[in-house]
A and B are shown apart, each in its own frame.
Chain A
Amino acid sequence: MEHWLAQVAPFLSHNTIFTPATLAAYWGGMVTTVQLVFISLVIGIVLAIPLAIGRASHRVWISGPIWFYTYVFRGTPLLIQLYIAYYGFAFIPGVQQSWFAFFINNALYPALLSFVLNTGAYTTEIFYGAIRATPRGELEAARAYGMSSFTAYRRIVLPSALRRALPAYGNEVIFMLHASAIASAVTITDMTGVAYNVYAEFYSPFPPFIFVACLYMALSFGIQGVFRLAEKRLLRHLKPA
């Protein structure tokens, strides 16, 4: 260990880029990125569960609008959605004096809005697919027991559908983490924003971007590990014997 430190120390003392100041900036960026992604995902799930149930409805006036919502938000780039949320309210006359001013003055709020709506659309489709894959017999059995459709959803459909959605949802979480990098395009100093600032300060592209790529990779693999563990526990009944 000491031998190893003795080898690393001169490298760290001779480099100009990874000083305590830049490392602190990277840490701050990581906190912003994780916050942004985590909050979006949580609100996205809360939004997606009722929407997915509505999407599976036989009534077209319920499922139709939800289909349209997911179609639009999955069919256009997140960057456009972010720009619309970011610029969309900023130019309304008198908005700076209204109670809504907080939303415009901090780019985090528009970013959060667009991320929530985007991940909500993808998650709705993921959950909807899982709901549709519910074996018919399970529903018939629930009905035979006299369950109302609300009870059947709560006790039978959702527990198994949300488990089945787990692998696809894990991909969505990683996708969201990667997509959040565009927050740096609207002045948010997330991880990518910090890497860009460090690049601009030292005019040296490789160390800051490769370092931030490694950070993203570490986060991605961490998330993957968590989901793999969860799948092992929750999908044990689906494992081939």
Chain B
Amino acid sequence: MVPSADPAATHLAPLAFTVPIIVACLLLALGRRLPRWAVDGLATTTAAAVAGIDVLLLMAARDGRVVTWAGGWTPVDGTTVGIALVADPLGVGAALIAAILMLCALVFSWRYFDSAEAHLHALMLLFLAGMTGFVLTGDLFNMFVFFELMGAVAYALTGFKIEDPTSVHGALSFGVVNSLGAYLTLCGIGILYARTGELGLAQLAVALRGNPPEALLVTAFVLVLTGWLVKAAMVPFHFWTADAEAVAPTPVCLLFSGIMVALGVYGTFRVYHVVFAPVLPAPGVQCLFLVFGAVTAVVGAVMCFAQRHLKRLLAYSTIAHVGLFLLAFGTLDAAGTEGGALYVAGHAGIKSALFLMSGVILNRYGSVDEIDLHGRGRHAVLLPWLMPLAGLALAGLPPFGLGMGKAVAEEAVATAGGWWAVAVFVLVSAATGGAVIRAALRIYRGTGRAPEASPPGTEETSGTDEEAEVSGLLQRVPLTMLVPIVVLLLGALALGVVPGVSEAFHAAASRFTDGAGYVARTLGAPAPLPAPTAPSGWTLSGVALSLLSSAMALAFALAALHHDRLPATLRAAARPVAPVLRGVRALHSGHVGDYVAWLFVGVAVLGAFLAAGAL
């Protein structure tokens, strides 16, 4: 047995999710008797404490992994009956992002929910506990349990504005589709347990070592992945995302979009690298994620550009970016994982800041409809500059961290054989950034034609009926709303300019892709270090491509705003796109039965794809 580097560090991992659960219970019990400031203070302090624990854990896990066996049931000669928590740098990093975003969301909601009782804070802390547990556990069934905790709390948070008709509708679709995905995952876990008698990720890997990729294992892999990929909003499992994120309270959207969907991607690749990498041949899996990632990115980007409801626009842009995450992580090597992880971190900062801005817009102007708000924000001071800047950063503007992640990921994807995927990266990030810039220019500068009354019965959701989340509209933006926005943007900037970030992410990515090392370290054998590869930060081509996508984003935005002034040939070329777009939009019907049917289509296609590659 190899002792952990620092015995004190092994106590940190359980604290990271038990502390928020205990405080959440206290808040539920005492919330009615406490004044609002005490509830806010307690919840915010707890989120800060979890962030602190995550930082300590990250320092301890820097040189490897911190393994904690619940109840001290450590393995003897490589066999164990215990349940482990395994903290590796990438997992703890994800937990840290979740804690920081939670901190920002809670500070933002000090003024945001005038009427909120302690329920909101308790639910938010439980949500944080679910997300933290999901990334720290080293046991497949516990992953499912934390996934369900995260899920059930998320449905409740989505439907938090219980008086709002769209809110309860979105929450129900989210709940049904996600629960069904989770049950398919549980079936996969059941099949794996039947085959091996194990539930721990490391123990499963040992039991499956040397197995041929038989049909039963492919089925189990597809089923386990389904739940994670529903959470990750991969096409065709993505339908719930826009419905839920459009209607959830803004601080909740920030967490959904900034980190929750990325955790789905995390779960997928954690299970692959540790358990299935030796069983399923890599080329088939790579091909799978290249195809599904590209389709997700394109569908998300097209739907994003077509929206007028600001929060739906951001939700579809998240789907587009999830596609890009899948492309990056789907290379299955350290370079691609490094790019993907940087991209996730940079995206968390920018997208969360954008969601908070949409919350500010909702509470100042009483609407999140881009057309309806035309020119309404002309007198605002700071946001007319911050929002287009965030749009450019979303498209990859250097030196923001998102741009660096995009550059590293593009290079890795090109090396892995998908040169065309670089074009997908550039176009998709330009389209999502362009949509944000378009909305910002329209709202804050009144660019483009003033709106006409839209014809009734159109197949789109407008954002005019969205209920403000404060009593009465705000006259000016309070500091508690502005500071989180600025902090998030600065954080995303710091990722791209602080030296050593790329090296740290590369080290974390090499640990994440080294499944054999994970297994050895968890079961107490000496883990050989993965062969060092060179980290890649900003490169000349990366900067050039990022500048290109930012410029294209600006061009897309201006073209959309001044489409009546475009040359006739360009407008004629765009005409055949309209019916295709109408078709894609019609598929997003808001009907929960349709969404479930698509879920099964997705499972069947995933299975067929993997079976063709593996059997």
A interacts with B: no
Name B residues whose Cβ lies closer than 8 Å to a Cβ of A: none
